[in-house]
Copies of this chain bind each other. A is one copy, B any other.
Amino acid sequence: MSIGLGLIGTGFMGKAHALAYRAAGAVFGDLPQVRLALLCDTPRDKADAMARQFGFEAATDEWRELAASPDVDIVSITTPNALHKEMALAAIAAGKHVHCEKPMALTLEDAREMEAAARRSGVRTIIGYNYIHNPAFAHARRLIEEGVVGRPVHFRGIVDEDYQADPDLPWTWRAKRADAGLGALGDLGCHLVSMAVGLMGPVESLVADTQIIHQTRPLGDGSGRGTVENEDAASAILRFHGGAQGALSTSRSAWGRKNKLDFEVHGTKGMIAFSQERMNELQLYVNDGPRSQQGFRTILTGPEHPPYGAFCPAPGHQLGFGDLKTIEAASFLRAIAGDAPNHPDFTAALSFEAVIHAIDVSAREGRRVNL
């Protein structure tokens, strides 16, 4: 069996998907064969050039052609968020499996529509919540499941970057809700939610607030200043279904933070802490052994933390961001081949994205929002 990949987009995430699907089979010995069948970008000569670089068999500048192509089994969607819905619905309609970048869509309604379509169709879907594929994250989950830190009772999370920290950056369509949807919550916050839910279970309700730090930005043509319509920062206080509580914050205007995506799980016997900027480390404290020897341990990921060993048999040698994407692609290929769940599928991802929209609603309406 050979699976044909059709990839739409060649930017940050497009390249990440291309590299991941190129690498996955060689890293893991158990995957079905993948063909890099068709690459779509515009203009056409760019699509051709990138297809050559990435090793795709063919190129197109018509995404609908890609979605309909008999050579394509998986449609990978890495275009701007506003385009996800239409592309995903077309791919699903054509019976293709869909690998779509997050967030699913600009609005919760659109995401729901996508989820319903996927559920009805029976195709396999996955949303690019790459950070939950980190062996360190999988280990955190395992530690919780095995009771190493006891019952998880409290969660803390932060996800910050600084790509909108500079007040002098020009206004772009990303500041417009109609074109970009949410701000920091859609770009960053949803990643943190994917981790929170993965560790603590589903969110029951929340109170929240959001902040537009830079209310206006200079228009690129020098004609004045444009209004920023979506949040630069947001915070929420969560209640989980299981009884735990927690807090999370995000900012896209946090100077010096490049990919700060940190969480803490407070358990009744210990604590787990993680920071994406040191993605090969997991912090673990367990109330065990002599008190005088207790402390947070810095666990360096290694072969003891699958699937790290598929990349490197030596511990502490470090995986990178691209490797997370390779794990994601591999897991999707396994799901398609039939022997594993595809996580997070549109249904799971919808549950993550419902949280960021609930944060937005809570902030705008000044009330607790139930999920």
Within 8 Å by CB of A316, from B149, B258, B315, lies B258
Quick check: which of A58-66, A105-113, A263-271, A337-345 contacts chain B, the rest being far away? A263-271
- A279 — which chain B residues lie within 8 A by C-beta? 318
Copies of this protein, total: 4
A302 on interface, CB distance cutoff 8 Å: yes
A2 to chain B minimum Cβ distance, whole angstroms, is 13
Contact A316 B259 (CB under 8 A): yes
Quick check: which of A91-99, A193-201, A244-252 contacts chain B, the rest being far away? A244-252
Q: In the complex, A260 Cα to B54 Cα: how many Å?
A: 34
Closest to A304 in B: B292
Per-position 1/0 for A5-41, Cβ under 8 A of B: 0000001100110110011011101000000000000
Quick check: which of A77-85, A220-228, A306-314 contacts chain B, the rest being far away? A306-314
- A278 — which chain B residues lie within 8 A by C-beta? 278
A258 to chain B minimum Cβ distance, whole angstroms, is 2
Contact A259 B156 (CB under 8 A): no
State which residues 292-326 of A face B: CB under 8 Å.
292-300, 302, 304-305, 311-323
A348 on interface, CB distance cutoff 8 Å: no
- A264 — which chain B residues lie within 8 A by C-beta? 254
Contact A12 B299 (CB under 8 A): no
Q: In the complex, A149 Cα to B254 Cα: how many Å?
A: 11
Contact A293 B284 (CB under 8 A): yes
A239 to chain B minimum Cβ distance, whole angstroms, is 7
Quick check: which of A171-179, A208-216, A349-357 contacts chain B, the rest being far away? A208-216
Count of chain A residues with a beta carbon within 8 Å of a chain B beta carbon: 99
A368 on interface, CB distance cutoff 8 Å: yes
A147 on interface, CB distance cutoff 8 Å: no
A315 to chain B minimum Cβ distance, whole angstroms, is 4
Contact A167 B268 (CB under 8 A): yes
Contact A249 B149 (CB under 8 A): no
Contact A249 B314 (CB under 8 A): no
A123 on interface, CB distance cutoff 8 Å: no
Q: In the complex, A22 Cα to B276 Cα: how many Å?
A: 27
A29 to chain B minimum Cβ distance, whole angstroms, is 5
A-B contact pairs, 22 of them (CB 8 A): A19-B27, A26-B53, A29-B53, A143-B293, A154-B251, A156-B158, A161-B314, A167-B268, A207-B209, A251-B266, A253-B266, A258-B302, A258-B317, A277-B280, A280-B318, A293-B297, A293-B299, A296-B297, A318-B319, A318-B320, A318-B321, A320-B320
